[in-house]
């Protein structure tokens, strides 16, 4: 993004207005979709794409700072369960439960992150994986969460009155769609704000070279913790929506495999594009699996084949195809760094276990 701005300094105004017009048109298209498309199934698809895209964005957020997280689905689940419990047991309105569960998820992330983010590297990945396992077990074991049957009869959002419009009731998929659009918009705005401000630069610095960033005065722990909390809170937000959209939730939805799928969407989209990448990746994968749906059983096979082919032939993801000209080399070294960590970590562990028979 910085490159874009600098190189086009003289054309900045032109580019800005070009981008704005594009966004404006996109916004109009998105808003008009339910008017044109009447099949609720497609509306449902768009809602799910949006949700998964946002989850993918949280993965990229942490990846920027050099952390690979397995906890995405876990926080998604915490948000869902928190919201469900607030609504079902405490009879809170959705409109209160939504922000409340986001905050709750954020607080849990603060506590958890405080411990886990210190580790960094492989330790972090494994610890978040352990967390992912534990949280599903917790949801399934304790009756307060409804056990393996889960929580059902989660109430729809109360009808909401917007100025100039009749009260909107959540009886069809369309209101949910607009709600999701709105939430996505907020998330994208918040992410953009962080990315373009100093915080985003610090994150990128940490991801590219933690040692260097630290020697320049960047408090790695604090920035990573911040990213962790934001990612978790956003996932929790999506979880809350999910709970009230589906009306029922079960523990197994929120297991570590969901996180793996989200990661696939993000990586296929292109890890260098924090917002567009996840959107494109999720969109493409969902469309592919939809329109190649020959039969229910064969579909995963086809989809996974596509995944494998894509990753083999598009190493920088789909967005990597769009080279903006100013990037003769893709700024890809951060991932090589992670591989370098693994190697370094392995060699250190190896040299300690000389007792290898």
Per CB under 8 A, the list member of 27, 28, 29, 193 interacting with other proteins is 193
The smaller minimum CB distance to other proteins, of residues 29 and 189, is found at 189
From residue 214 to residue 253, the character string flagging contacts with other proteins as x (rule: CB under 8 A) and all else as - is: xxxxxxx---------------------------------
Coil/strand/helix, residue 8: coil
The smaller minimum CB distance to other proteins, of residues 24 and 257, is found at 257
In the DSSP assignment, the letter for residue 154 is: P
Q: Does 92 bind other proteins (CB under 8 A)?
A: no
Least distance between other proteins and beta carbon 96 (Å): 25
From residue 121 to residue 150, the character string flagging contacts with other proteins as x (rule: CB under 8 A) and all else as - is: xxx--xx-xxx-xx--xx-xxx--------
Per CB under 8 A, the list member of 4, 7, 30, 158 interacting with other proteins is 7
For residues 314 and 309, give the distance between their C-alpha atoms in angstroms, rounded to a whole number: 8
Q: Does 279 bind other proteins (CB under 8 A)?
A: no
**Alpha carbon separation from 308 to 22, 272, 305 (Å, rounded):** 32, 20, 5
Interface residues for other proteins in 149-188 (CB under 8 A)? none
The smaller minimum CB distance to other proteins, of residues 224 and 244, is found at 224
The smaller minimum CB distance to other proteins, of residues 126 and 149, is found at 126
Crossing angle for the helix pair 198-208 and 333-352, nearest 10 degrees?
40
**Alpha carbon separation from 248 to 113, 152, 307, 343 (Å, rounded):** 28, 4, 30, 44
The smaller minimum CB distance to other proteins, of residues 194 and 241, is found at 194
Per CB under 8 A, the list member of 36, 162, 211, 291 interacting with other proteins is 211
Per CB under 8 A, the list member of 55, 80, 183, 264 interacting with other proteins is 264
Give which of 262, 279, 357 is closest to 318, Cα–Cα: 279
Residue 93: alpha-carbon gap to chain centroid: 25
Per CB under 8 A, the list member of 61, 71, 268, 283 interacting with other proteins is 268
Q: Does 338 bind other proteins (CB under 8 A)?
A: yes
The smaller minimum CB distance to other proteins, of residues 161 and 349, is found at 349
Sequence-distant (≥ 6) Cβ neighbours of residue 82 within 8 angstroms: 97, 100, 101, 104, 105, 236, 239, 240
The smaller minimum CB distance to other proteins, of residues 15 and 33, is found at 15
Least distance between other proteins and beta carbon 291 (Å): 18
Sequence-distant (≥ 6) Cβ neighbours of residue 288 within 8 angstroms: 302, 303, 306
From the list 13-21, 50-58, 177-185, 341-349, the region that binds other proteins by CB under 8 A is 341-349
For residues 237 and 232, give the distance between their C-alpha atoms in angstroms, rounded to a whole number: 9
Interface residues for other proteins in 104-123 (CB under 8 A)? 115, 119-123
Coil/strand/helix, residue 132: helix
Are 245 and 157 a contacting pair, CB within 8 Å? no
Interface residues for other proteins in 285-314 (CB under 8 A)? 297-298, 300-301, 303-305, 307-308, 311-312
Least distance between other proteins and beta carbon 124 (Å): 9
In the DSSP assignment, the letter for residue 253 is: G
Give which of 341, 353, 322, 352 is closest to 4, Cα–Cα: 322
Q: Residue count at the site for other proteins (CB under 8 A)?
A: 93
The smaller minimum CB distance to other proteins, of residues 25 and 298, is found at 298
Are 67 and 228 a contacting pair, CB within 8 Å? yes
The smaller minimum CB distance to other proteins, of residues 82 and 135, is found at 135
**Alpha carbon separation from 33 to 40, 53, 276 (Å, rounded):** 11, 18, 20
């Amino acid at each position: 993004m910085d490159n874009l701005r600098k190189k086009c300094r003289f054309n900045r105004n032109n580019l800005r207005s070009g981008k704005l017009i594009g966004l404006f048109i996109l916004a109009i298209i998105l808003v008009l979709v339910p008017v044109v498309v009447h099949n609720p199934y497609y509306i449902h698809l768009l809602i799910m794409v949006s949700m998964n895209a946002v989850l993918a964005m949280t993965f990229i957020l942490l990846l920027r700072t050099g952390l690979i997280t397995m906890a995405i689905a876990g926080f998604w689940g915490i948000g869902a369960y928190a919201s469900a419990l607030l609504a079902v047991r405490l009879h809170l309105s959705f409109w209160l439960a939504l922000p409340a569960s986001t905050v709750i998820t954020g607080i849990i992330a603060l506590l958890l992150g405080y411990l886990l983010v210190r580790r960094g590297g492989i330790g972090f990945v494994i610890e978040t994986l352990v967390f992912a396992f534990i949280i599903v077990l917790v949801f399934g074991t304790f009756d307060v969460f409804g056990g393996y049957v889960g929580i059902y009869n989660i109430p729809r959002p109360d009808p909401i009155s917007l100025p100039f419009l009749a009260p909107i009731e959540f009886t069809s998929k369309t209101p949910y769609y607009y709600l999701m659009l709105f939430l996505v918009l907020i998330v994208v705005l918040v992410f953009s704000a962080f990315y373009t401000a100093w915080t985003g630069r610090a994150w990128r610095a940490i991801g590219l070279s933690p040692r260097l960033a630290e020697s320049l005065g960047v408090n790695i722990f604090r920035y990573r913790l911040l990213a962790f909390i934001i990612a978790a809170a956003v996932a929790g937000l999506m979880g809350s929506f999910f709970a009230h959209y589906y009306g029922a939730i079960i523990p197994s939805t929120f297991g570590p495999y969901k996180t793996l799928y989200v990661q696939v969407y993000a990586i296929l989209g292109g890890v260098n594009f924090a917002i567009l990448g996840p959107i494109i990746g999720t969109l493409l994968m969902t469309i592919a699996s939809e329109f190649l749906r020959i039969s229910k059983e064969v579909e995963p096979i086809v989809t996974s084949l596509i995944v494998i082919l894509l990753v083999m032939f598009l190493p920088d993801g789909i967005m990597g195809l769009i080279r903006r000209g100013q990037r003769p080399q893709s700024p890809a070294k951060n991932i090589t760094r992670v591989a370098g960590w693994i190697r370094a970590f392995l060699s250190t562990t190896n040299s300690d276990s000389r007792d290898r028979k």
